Amino acid sequence: MTDTINAAAGNPYLQGNYGPVAEEVTAFDLPVVGEIPAELAGRYLRNGPNPMSEVDQSTHHWFIGDGMVHGVRLLGGKAEWYRNRYVGSTSVSQRRGQPDIPGRNWNDNPGGPNTNVGGFAGTTWAMVEAGGCPVELTYELETVGRNDFFGTLPGAYTAHPKVDADTGEMHAVVYALPQWLDHVQYVVVGTDGRVRRTVDVPVNDGPMVHDMSLTQKYAIVYDMPVTLNIEMAMEGRFPFAWNPGHGSRLGFLPREGEAVDIVWVDVPISYVFHPMNAYDQADGSVVIDLCVYDTMFENDLRGPFGDNFARFERWVVNPVTRTCSTTVIDSSWVEFPRHRGSLPASPTATATAPAPACSPAGRRSSSTCTPARSRCSIMAPAAAPVSRSSSAARAAPMRTTAGWSRSCTTCRKARPNWSSSTRRTSPARQWRACCCRSASPTASTATG
């Protein structure tokens, strides 16, 4: 797959559906092909990197670039308007010859949020990980300014908070580089839009923590082997790379607990951008459905799809026994899974997990194309997501084996048992070594 991407002329994350949009557009009374369900009332919003000026094609990373929010306002079966707007930032203001946008910039980050957008506490927020402050937008997507939850956010935020449907509070696991190299932070924002609680959780190596999971009991921290790479940072490049020596673990932090209460459980060496859903079980274990990559940013350092695509798995992790079992639910390429928003922290009923059909490699599609330029998107309140597929409903039990032994899900041949040190070196290469070259293993793990 890397060869396929490398064979493409230029940077694949700047071409086709990934190509930056040059204009900001406002359009009303959009033509509708088919039918919009009349009960949909609200905005469908998405955010994604959209470089405003020329970038170095050889080193540009998809996750870098000025944010651009797109939105469609739906009401009564009509698409009332479409707008796209750059998310305000210091760098966007400089290019426009305008004063900086208002709002405290705790780490003097010149960039703006380019990853997610959503509604909470009556406000529209553009969001990003790694340290940037959220930016408040108007209903019509114009930038109001940075908003650190009305002066209550100590530092960084995330692109992937989780809203608890029972309490209405918003939970996040956040990190900041280069400011916080030794910890991530659990942040709870109250229904009034103000931070109610923070907990600093020690970690090593500066891991890239893109998302989190939330259950009735736990906030779950993803401490996985994509970490700060000093050399890349010094070169001014996207500063994260594959680091299997870091290990791979999930931290189960009781929602009202402190850092000393967190329980870490080793999980397979892999990377996860997006868990779909998580919930507690009566035996103390936690079920997590998620998109799993064998490796991430190991060879191709321009974006996530150069080395391999994600498959959909179910992990059952028990913080009491500190064990993890994994099952492949769907070996098709999937990303951006979405659990029905009104049912977090409960068994999955309906979900979407589209294939990255518009991948830069131009690979096959198995379902509807997801908007490629948008890295992540969420539905603003008052508009319910529409299910396109139910991946979980197609879950089929797969063969699992004890320890770190894995078997190929295509040819069913057993793979070698790997020692921990070997496994941490490059499991993906060993999977590729199978006669059928399947990249869809299933495994069960047990850790002490």
d(Cα 242, Cα 246) in Å, to the nearest integer? Answer: 9
Q: How far is the CB of 377 from Fe ion (least distance, A)?
A: 9
Nearest residue (CB) to Fe ion, 74 versus 376: 376
| Cα dihedral sign, 221-222-225-229 | negative
Contacts of 437 (CB under 8 A, 6+ apart): none
401: DSSP letter? -
Beta strands in 255-394 (DSSP E): 263-266, 275-280, 286-292, 311-318, 323-330, 338-339, 351-352
d(Cα 315, Cα 296) in Å, to the nearest integer? Answer: 19
Q: How far is the CB of 336 from Fe ion (least distance, A)?
A: 7
Comparing every residue's Cβ against Fe ion, the nearest one is 376
Nearest residue (CB) to Fe ion, 266 versus 289: 289
Nearest residue (CB) to Fe ion, 376 versus 443: 376
Q: Considering only CA atoms, which of 298, 318, 317, 320 is closest in space to residue 308? A: 298
Instruction: Say how many C-beta atoms besides its own lie within 10 A of residue 341's C-beta.
Output: 16
d(Cα 318, Cα 338) in Å, to the nearest integer? Answer: 23
376 lies in the binding site for Fe ion (CB under 5 A): yes
Nearest residue (CB) to Fe ion, 136 versus 335: 335
Q: How far is the CB of 35 from Fe ion (least distance, A)?
A: 30
Nearest residue (CB) to Fe ion, 226 versus 376: 376
- What are 177's two structure tokens? 């580089």
Binding segment toward Fe ion, per CB under 5 A, in 124-132, 218-226, 313-321, 369-377: 369-377
β-pairing, 212-214 vs 26-30, is unpaired
CA distances from 134 to 64, 180, 442 (A): 16, 18, 38
Q: Say if residues 307 and 424 touch (Cβ distance below 8 Å).
A: no
Q: How far is the CB of 56 from Fe ion (least distance, A)?
A: 24
Q: How far is the CB of 372 from Fe ion (least distance, A)?
A: 13
Contacts of 429 (CB under 8 A, 6+ apart): none
Nearest residue (CB) to Fe ion, 101 versus 376: 376
- What are 109's two structure tokens? 């980050």
137 lies in the binding site for Fe ion (CB under 5 A): no
Residues 211-250 that bind Fe ion (CB under 5 A): none
Q: How far is the CB of 86 from Fe ion (least distance, A)?
A: 20
Binding segment toward Fe ion, per CB under 5 A, in 101-109, 342-350, 376-384, 429-437: 376-384
Nearest residue (CB) to Fe ion, 201 versus 376: 376
Binding segment toward Fe ion, per CB under 5 A, in 17-25, 35-43, 375-383, 395-403: 375-383
Nearest residue (CB) to Fe ion, 20 versus 275: 275
Binding segment toward Fe ion, per CB under 5 A, in 72-80, 91-99, 372-380, 435-443: 372-380
Residues 18-37 that bind Fe ion (CB under 5 A): none
Binding segment toward Fe ion, per CB under 5 A, in 39-47, 195-203, 373-381, 422-430: 373-381
Binding site for Fe ion (CB under 5 A): 376
